[in-house]
Chains A and B, each alone.
Chain A
Amino acid sequence: MMPGSRKDSSSPYDVPAPPFRRLRVYSIDPSLAQSLETSAIRETRLEIPWEDTEQGTQLYGTSDESERRDASLKPGPCGEYLEVIDFDPATNAWYKPVDLGDPYLLAQDGLSPSDGNPQFHQQMVYAVVMRTIRNFEIALGRRALWAPHEGQFVGQLHVYPHALREANAYYSPAKKALLFGYFQSSPVDPTEHLPGGIVFTCLSHDVIAHETAHALLDGMNRNLTEPSNPDVLAFHEAFADIVALFQHFSLPEVLRFEIARTRGDLKTGSLLASLAREFGKAIGRTGALRSAIGKTPAPGEIEQITEPHRRGAILVAAVFDAFLAIYHQRTADLYRLATEGTGELPEGAIHPDLVARLAQEAAKTSQHVLNMCIRTLDYLPPVDITFGDYLRALITADSDLVPDDALGYRVAFMEAFRRRGIFPREARSLSEESLRWKSPDLTLAEFEPQVYLGRDLSNKMRDWNLGGNREVIFNHLQEAIETAKSIIDSSRGYKQRITVGLDLDQFDFEVNSIRPVRRSGPEGQFIMDAVVEITQKRPGFLDQSLADAPKELPDGERPDFWFRGGCTLIIDLETGKLRYCIFKKITSKHRYERCRDYLRGGSAGPSLAATYFDTAGSSEVDEVFSFVHRGLEENS
């Protein structure tokens, strides 16, 4: 979906296919339209990568025949990445799908925002999901793939804008689908929201982006969702919130409006830093559902809060603090210019030019921060992730790409995380040096097994067209996984060296995913890596320590939980050299104990559901990614 890249169409006017389709959406959610102050910024136009419609393909054809099937956008909208299916099972109603190829709609950037028109709802979810996908693709340097179904390629994510009748929305890993709900509001203050009015979660930019982020993350690593410590689910929530949050800053109208209103102080810009305003008010809160502007950082919080959304909020607040610090860094000169060095802005509105420049800086900063956060995903251990791991991965990923941290981005992150009490468990100090994942101390000798793995993989992957058809890419990657499996399997004598964290003698291993990474840094350097994730599992028992637990399960028995370990290998595709091995040992007694403690509820108060419902096995069948998990009130 790299815009404009491969769409050389044969238009009679010799015009290339448009790079973007513009679609109108509510800029944040319908609530902005209801207040005079904000009604000016109620809607915005999102630029979505162009997908040809049937008509367009007929008229102009596509240059690449293999793309034809995917590239035509059908009513729904159903495109290459998504199928929006508007079926409301509770009402037992189908809604006519919107045809974005309609000339009238094309000419006016789609339907105008309306909460009473289901076709607009379809248009809005399509636009926002596509926008989120694009942000991921830009940051990761590869095309987005959804999690496979039983090993098979899943081309389109299903999106159901009106699937639920409750204040909820979620990504269903089992169905590869986004389900959005609608509900009647019961606001605290009836003047802020119509009591009993219907609120659609599919009209909230934040909710859509949040759920899409869950889906994209699931497409990268399936094991990350197993709650083996309090950070795992919290991380998922936080990450999805971060994606939703920083997308606010890519809305130029809202950004300018808020910067003018707050005179450049983003800390008080509630529209930008809060998530799901309408939703929050409608379910009876005084404000938005979540806000990134944390109270004064309280390092102790991280020890006490275990509910995923609230714990995730700590991570979001840390990232937002880092963002603010970087923004201040980048705009210090503008303030000096505007205030002639006094630092004191005159009373009243600030100059529109200053607003424009500040907005530009804020947009750029947010894009950088979002990219950093997304890129980090490739540097995470494959299982049992903690916030500390995320910090280390973030620092490593960024310093790989931007070795010279002139603007202090990494320092800003380290400081912000430190102030929220987020520390990596094993790092010796909080310097960049010790936070970076260690490059393995490996030579480049020919017979080293990791070189085989790296070299073979790099031979295999070097010539792929990563911009091409997604199904072809998927199949390539599946082949690469098989190759990697056989390489690891056949190099028996060397197994121990190749894979820190694994115990190949006692447990089977699985190559979970291989992902190519291609990107260029600000200094023009080009990085081409492969990320290989290998995991193992062993049965775990709540009443047995690691040493006592049997290594294999007796027939027909279920363990209390699966204890997983594994490693993420990052391989330089140019040289075949192993650059990082990020691991969680399957043999770690301490980690097993921590996991066991956590699942027994020793370090965390489980939810009400945990009393009645099996906790350890539940993640397999449950919808774990609800936007508001259903028992919200219980913890609010």
Chain B
Amino acid sequence: MARMTAPEGGCAVRMYRQGLGDCFLLAFGAARGKQKYVMIDCGVLLGTANAEANMQAVAKDIRTVTGGHLDALVITHEHWDHVSGFVQAQQEFEKLDVDQLWLAWTENPRNPLARELRERRRMALEGLRSALTRAGAAPQHFSHRIQSVSEFFGEDMGLGARATTEDALDWAKQQWKNHRYCDPGGTPLSIDGLDNVRFYVLGPPADPAYIRKSRPSSRGGQVYLDDATSGNLGLYLSALNAAPAVREPYQDERRFTPFNEAYHRKDPAHQDVQEISCRYQATDWRKIDADWTAAAGELALKLDAHTNNTSLVLAIELARDDKVLLFTGDAQVGNWLSWDDVTWSGDFKELTTGDLLERTVLYKVGHHGSHNATLREKGLERMTNGELAALIPVNRKTAKTRRWRMPHEPLYERLVEKTLGRIVMADSGLPQATSDAAIESFLQQCRETELYTELDVHPWKPVAAPAPATRKSAKKKASTTRKTATKKKTAPRKRAKKKTPAPVKKVRRRR
């Protein structure tokens, strides 16, 4: 099979159609026709039919079209629908070379905050498990809640042992040893041989000062937490701080009793409580034995939100001041809100998140299009570029059987407005061809097969635009500089590049 190729200076984005889950392969057109490959996530929701076969087909395709080599692999966060492939298609992935594995800082075993966070996550999962056990055989209305959330962790809590997300992630980390734990801000990431393209890390939020400020003992942080819109960040931070909420209720009930033991009567037949316990036992439908475990439903939700908020968020810039592709993982509100506080160093000091969002032409819709993984005013509404297109890795049939609202209708409607219909969905594929010129030209950039949809993104500024001879030599010079340039020397090259007459688009944009 032929290699996947991207236009020079541009990018091709392949969205696999394995079901409800994320798997993206990006090809970048480097100089002289070379291709660089980046894969973002690889998973499908637990309980998907033929999951293994689907994932193996995906993995096989990835191996074939990349020649068995990835320049970078990005795992956004630890949820089954983003990592299951590393378990389900291990044989294929074993044959894949990966230069770098990019993970969020929250996965870094050496980062104490990250360790604490993962510890909490484990405890919460533990809590969920014991809550389900305590709830017993009686079907409780929340059991299905826990169940459906736990599916994101690759655990079917009713069915005992299975591979978990942790296993999948651990395998990937074992397999490809060159790990890079990404903090937001600072210097953007890049790939050797692909100097123009920059990967800006926007999340997960990492500023420890931030986190310390919101500790319960400090008044300063409270203002932030009280801010009506920051709810989910509050949740995220409270997962880092307010351990008792997660730890206490489920760990060891015996240690924590609300009253002096002298008041306890363990035996309902004890003469002190016999009469009242008979009253209680008399009507089955009024018993409350398991109601207290219902809090686990909320715990499960929080856990899910926290984990989503640890998503590695990448804004991929094709070249300086050029198009941006936004991959948010499943980042929820809190993660989005923190982006404006991200600062860049060196050459990139001036760059703002608003600027990146403004230039975004491709948005990978977060969390399969759920309502809380795409921020409105501070997010989508700032993606004002007229070429904006959206990729939604969703399977509506699967979502519907679980009664999840994916994609969330108001969000979808707004996306349609903003993209003029340029939305690619994993289940239905490319948008219907219409007489609309916007769709028409968009479809010309797209391909689809049963296995994937693919979309070309051309840069605004052609890299090797046909130009008069004099300028060609200037360009050549620039490109030789580029070859030997280390990262720090990018500035002069930039300046040289800026001398080329800017296309109209750029002028409009920079106003």
Query: Interface residues, chain A, CB within 8 Å of chain B?
Result: 74-76, 78, 83, 85-97, 116-118, 149, 158, 160, 162-166, 168, 172, 174-177, 179, 181-182, 184, 186-190, 195-196, 198, 200, 284, 286, 542, 600-602, 605-606, 608-615, 621-623, 630-631, 633-636
| Partner among B242, B259, B372 whose Cβ is within 8 Å of the Cβ of A186 | B242
| Partner among A179, A601, A636 whose Cβ is within 8 Å of the Cβ of B288 | A179
Query: Interface residues, chain B, CB within 8 Å of chain A?
Result: 141, 145, 148-149, 216-217, 219, 222, 225-226, 228, 231-232, 234-235, 238, 242, 244-245, 248-249, 253, 257-260, 263-268, 270, 272-273, 275-277, 279-280, 285-292, 294-295, 297-298, 301, 304-305, 370-372, 402-406, 408-410
* Known contacts A89-B292, A95-B273, A196-B244; is-contact A612 B265 (Cβ 8 Å): no
- B410, A184: Cβ atoms closer than 8 Å: no
- A85, B279: Cβ atoms closer than 8 Å: yes
| Partner among B234, B286, B305, B409 whose Cβ is within 8 Å of the Cβ of A176 | B286
- A91, B276: Cβ atoms closer than 8 Å: no
* Known contacts A91-B258, A176-B286; is-contact A606 B371 (Cβ 8 Å): yes
With CB as the reference atom, state the residue of chain B lying closest to A286.
B222
A91 to B273, CA, bound (A): 15
Given contacts A162-B258, A612-B148, A631-B301, 12 further A-B contacts (CB under 8 A): A89-B288, A90-B249, A94-B265, A158-B288, A165-B249, A186-B216, A200-B258, A611-B370, A611-B406, A630-B298, A633-B231, A636-B226
With CB as the reference atom, state the residue of chain A lying closest to B234.
A633
Q: Cβ of A634: which chain B residues have Cβ within 8 Å of it?
A: 231-232, 235, 305
A88 to B277, CA, bound (A): 11
- B403, A614: Cβ atoms closer than 8 Å: yes
A278 to chain B, nearest CB (A): 15
Q: Cβ of A118: which chain B residues have Cβ within 8 Å of it?
A: 259, 263
A426 to chain B, nearest CB (A): 27
- A608, B301: Cβ atoms closer than 8 Å: yes
- A168, B263: Cβ atoms closer than 8 Å: no
- B216, A621: Cβ atoms closer than 8 Å: no
Q: Cβ of A186: which chain B residues have Cβ within 8 Å of it?
A: 216, 242, 244-245
With CB as the reference atom, state the residue of chain B lying closest to A618.
B141
B29 to chain A, nearest CB (A): 37
- A164, B265: Cβ atoms closer than 8 Å: no
- B219, A611: Cβ atoms closer than 8 Å: no
- A601, B408: Cβ atoms closer than 8 Å: yes
Q: Cβ of B288: which chain A residues have Cβ within 8 Å of it?
A: 87, 89, 158, 160, 163, 172, 175, 177, 179
Q: Cβ of A605: which chain B residues have Cβ within 8 Å of it?
A: 371
- A610, B405: Cβ atoms closer than 8 Å: yes
With CB as the reference atom, state the residue of chain B lying closest to A160.
B288
* Known contacts A163-B291, A605-B371; is-contact A158 B286 (Cβ 8 Å): yes
Q: Cβ of A622: which chain B residues have Cβ within 8 Å of it?
A: 141
25 contacting pairs across A/B (C-beta < 8 A): A74-B275, A75-B276, A78-B276, A87-B277, A87-B280, A90-B249, A93-B259, A116-B259, A164-B292, A179-B291, A186-B216, A186-B245, A286-B226, A600-B410, A601-B408, A601-B410, A608-B305, A610-B405, A611-B372, A611-B405, A612-B403, A612-B404, A631-B301, A633-B238, A634-B305
| Partner among B149, B403, B406, B410 whose Cβ is within 8 Å of the Cβ of A602 | B410
A601 to B405, CA, bound (A): 10
B230 to chain A, nearest CB (A): 9
- A633, B279: Cβ atoms closer than 8 Å: no
Interface centre among B235, B409, B410 (most CB of A within 10 A): B410
With CB as the reference atom, state the residue of chain B lying closest to A119.
B263
- B295, A166: Cβ atoms closer than 8 Å: yes
- B258, A94: Cβ atoms closer than 8 Å: no
B200 to chain A, nearest CB (A): 28
A186 to B276, CA, bound (A): 34
* Known contacts A200-B258, A634-B231, A635-B231; is-contact A189 B219 (Cβ 8 Å): yes
| Partner among A163, A172, A284, A636 whose Cβ is within 8 Å of the Cβ of B216 | A284
Q: Cβ of B225: which chain A residues have Cβ within 8 Å of it?
A: 636
* Known contacts A91-B257, A116-B259; is-contact A609 B265 (Cβ 8 Å): no
- B371, A610: Cβ atoms closer than 8 Å: yes
B141 to chain A, nearest CB (A): 4
With CB as the reference atom, state the residue of chain A lying closest to B257.
A91
Q: Cβ of B145: which chain A residues have Cβ within 8 Å of it?
A: 609, 612-613
- A611, B249: Cβ atoms closer than 8 Å: no
Q: Cβ of B290: which chain A residues have Cβ within 8 Å of it?
A: 89
Q: 7 closest pairs, A vs B, by CB? A: A630-B298, A614-B403, A94-B273, A93-B264, A96-B272, A621-B141, A166-B295
Q: Cβ of A600: which chain B residues have Cβ within 8 Å of it?
A: 409-410
With CB as the reference atom, state the residue of chain A lying closest to B231.
A634
A605 to B280, CA, bound (A): 40
Q: Cβ of B244: which chain A residues have Cβ within 8 Å of it?
A: 184, 186, 196
Q: Cβ of B226: which chain A residues have Cβ within 8 Å of it?
A: 286, 636
* Known contacts A95-B265, A200-B258, A634-B231; is-contact A90 B292 (Cβ 8 Å): yes
Q: Cβ of B372: which chain A residues have Cβ within 8 Å of it?
A: 608, 611
B127 to chain A, nearest CB (A): 11
A172 to B301, CA, bound (A): 21
Q: Cβ of A606: which chain B residues have Cβ within 8 Å of it?
A: 371, 405
A623 to B149, CA, bound (A): 19
- B235, A175: Cβ atoms closer than 8 Å: no
A286 to B224, CA, bound (A): 13
A358 to B182, CA, bound (A): 64
A306 to chain B, nearest CB (A): 12
With CB as the reference atom, state the residue of chain A lying closest to B242.
A186
A190 to B215, CA, bound (A): 12
A179 to B292, CA, bound (A): 9
* Known contacts A85-B279, A284-B242, A612-B149; is-contact A91 B410 (Cβ 8 Å): no
| Partner among A179, A182, A188, A195 whose Cβ is within 8 Å of the Cβ of B258 | A182
Q: Cβ of A189: which chain B residues have Cβ within 8 Å of it?
A: 219
A523 to B496, CA, bound (A): 93
Interface centre among A91, A149, A168 (most CB of B within 10 A): A91
* Known contacts A189-B219, A605-B371; is-contact A630 B265 (Cβ 8 Å): no
A286 to B222, CA, bound (A): 8
A432 to B297, CA, bound (A): 47
A150 to B442, CA, bound (A): 59
Q: Cβ of B231: which chain A residues have Cβ within 8 Å of it?
A: 633-636
B176 to chain A, nearest CB (A): 32
Q: Cβ of A200: which chain B residues have Cβ within 8 Å of it?
A: 258
- B276, A76: Cβ atoms closer than 8 Å: yes
